[in-house]
Chains A and B, each alone.
Chain A
Amino acid sequence: MEHLGKEHVLVRPEDYDKNFSTLNLGPTHPATHGIFQNVLTMNGETIIDTEQTIGYIHRAFEKLAERRSFYQITTLTDRMNYCSSPINNIGWQTTVEKLFGIKTSKRIDYMRIILMELARIADHLICNSVIGVDSGALTGFVYVFQEREKIYEIYEEICGARLTTNLGRIGGFERDFTPEVIRKIRKFIDELPDVVHQFEKLLIRNRIFMDRTVGVGGITAERALNWGFTGPCLRAAGVDYDVRVANPYSSYDDFDFIIPVGTQGDTYDRFCVRQEEIWQSIKLIKNALENLPEGNFHMEVPEFFLPEKQEVYSNMEALIWHFKIVMGEVAVPVGEVYHAVEGGNGELGFYLVSDGGRTPFRLHFRRPCFVYYQAYPEMIRGSFLSDAILTMSSMNVIAGELDA
């Protein structure tokens, strides 16, 4: 076992004669909500420094992507931020559409917005309720988890899967929203406000919760920008950067919504920003659903949209196209694109280099929490261990995305 590095010993020899103690937080600790390790150096209850180790669930997605044709990469993106996989799926699909120069219709864009905002609600509900759990309030978590279940039922109705959705196709969707989907979304949107109100009542002005979160794990806007923060963590620090507004994709510019910002950049602000984003997402879904235009649920993209099964069995050209799509033998333009979407926890970017082959020449995922989780030592230095736990859960670090 000598190849295992020095980080993995419990107490470092140089600390034997100091009063500092070394504490392993993770890799598998219930409070880290994922598999990553922090070796904390503690002075009593106060954290002096921490050494982070990540990569425990690294699956080499960027290398795998170099062997997969474009439509097969959607399944890799599911497994990054698995709390909001539809955003990842649609982010990848819009990246390929950008490379191909495909302009999708308003109906597809609005359908995508509905799904991405549902995913954002699921992501924020989990993250915020877990902040509650880590501060000792399990009740709110149980309330909102039922709502997440309803979102997953909507996914299930649309694509058949719940967590790793592989939802949608390049150029649209594989099938239209059924009346049942519309009914479920409407019902969910009608019922959610009560639950969110109830949840907010439990925590947002709760004395204990505020004592535990206000001023904990704060970061200034300047440092946050320097550390590459995006998403709710950056907005909590007071910077109103949101990819949906800065670089609108999927017709987000048709809608009117507010970007909430905080002032202190602390755990409480991150909580409040996410809470407000849930309200904005509800509004967006309502608007998109009301204004959902009639039309086709996919664009005419012969490179990626499978022909009707009936056609495949009876028509030679359809059979050839079916084969070409499944084998990834479609003509791909040469070029490189960077495309970003607003993920559940920040700017999720896809840097795609294509040399015209059936697979990407290079695909890089700009994972938001990989970039900002490195600021964690700076944010917890000098605070208590229990505050460090809350800071981590409020940063919404998703192990699958961190390690890709």
Chain B
Amino acid sequence: MDISSIQDQLIARFPNQPPVVDSTGDLLTLTVNKEVILETIKFLKEELGFDFLTDLTGIHYPDRELPLGVIYHLHNFRTNARIRVKAFLAINTPEIESMTSLFAAANWMERETYDFFGIQFINHPKLERILNVEYLDYFPLRKEYPLEDQTREDKDDRFFGR
């Protein structure tokens, strides 16, 4: 299955909100609107054979209009093709459909993403923190929580990039 056929089938399936396709990276990358994420993944799984959820994780770009992202890596074992799907969310309403109805494996991956980025997965059976303690009141992998103490004066980060 080549890239253009995947692209054509997706555009035919979602004419109103076609995915943004980027084939320049290491994997074919689709960026879709969060409203159609469940249908897109379902279509990829059931029609195009991407029936293995390799990875699901989050990302935070603080400077973007839609700062929070959810990144899915899917794998088609029959053709040995991998695909990456991204959806971006607003910081005030970080809500997206859960993939647990399609992949059992999404359960903990989504809990981990919630734990670290605060992304709410709608229809998740048990959206609780998984690795951090229950009473943690922030989402540690967001970029506004720096790893080092920002009140330190003996060290100037300007000289070291980040």
| A→B interface (CB under 8 Å) | 3-5, 54-55, 58, 60, 62-64, 66-67, 98, 223, 225-228, 239, 241, 246-247, 327-329, 335-340, 347, 349, 351, 353, 357-359, 362, 364, 366, 370-372, 374-375, 403-404
Contact = CB atoms under 8 A, between A and B. Distances in A.
Contact of B131 (A54, A338, A362, A366): A54
A404 B52 contact: no
Q: Chain B binding site: helix, strand, loop or mixed by DSSP?
A: loop
Given A64-B147, A98-B26, A225 B131 contact: no
B82 interface: yes
B55 A349 contact: yes
Contact of B148 (A58, A67, A403): A67
B26 A337 contact: yes
Given A63-B141, A371-B108, A247 B80 contact: yes
Contacts, number: 103
Nearest to A335: B25
A351 B85 CA distance: 13
A351 B27 contact: no
Interface string B33-60: 0000000000000000001111101011
B144 interface: no
A364 B109 CA distance: 11
A373 to B, nearest CB: 8
B82 A338 contact: yes
Interface of B: 25-27, 51-55, 57, 59-60, 71, 73, 77, 80, 82, 84, 103-105, 107-109, 112, 116, 130-135, 140-141, 147-148, 160-162
B104 A226 contact: yes
Contact of B51 (A4, A225, A335, A339): A225
B71 A5 contact: no
24 contacts: A4-B134, A54-B131, A55-B131, A55-B133, A58-B131, A63-B140, A98-B26, A228-B103, A228-B105, A246-B80, A247-B82, A329-B160, A329-B161, A338-B55, A338-B73, A338-B82, A339-B26, A351-B55, A351-B73, A357-B161, A358-B162, A366-B73, A374-B104, A374-B108
Given A54-B131, A223-B104, 20 more contacts: A3-B134, A5-B134, A58-B131, A62-B116, A66-B147, A67-B162, A246-B77, A329-B161, A338-B27, A338-B82, A347-B54, A349-B73, A351-B71, A358-B162, A362-B60, A364-B57, A371-B105, A371-B109, A403-B131, A404-B131
Nearest to B143: A66
Chain A contact residues: helix, strand, loop or mixed: mixed
Nearest to A240: B77
B160 A351 contact: no
B161 A358 contact: yes
Contacts of A404: 131
A69 B61 CA distance: 19
Contacts of B141: 62-63
Contacts of B60: 362
Nearest to B145: A63
Contacts of A227: 104-105
Contact of A58 (B25, B132, B134, B160): B132
Nearest to B148: A67
B77 A241 contact: yes
B11 to A, nearest CB: 24
The 5 closest A-B pairs by CB, nearest first: A228-B105, A55-B131, A3-B135, A358-B161, A58-B131
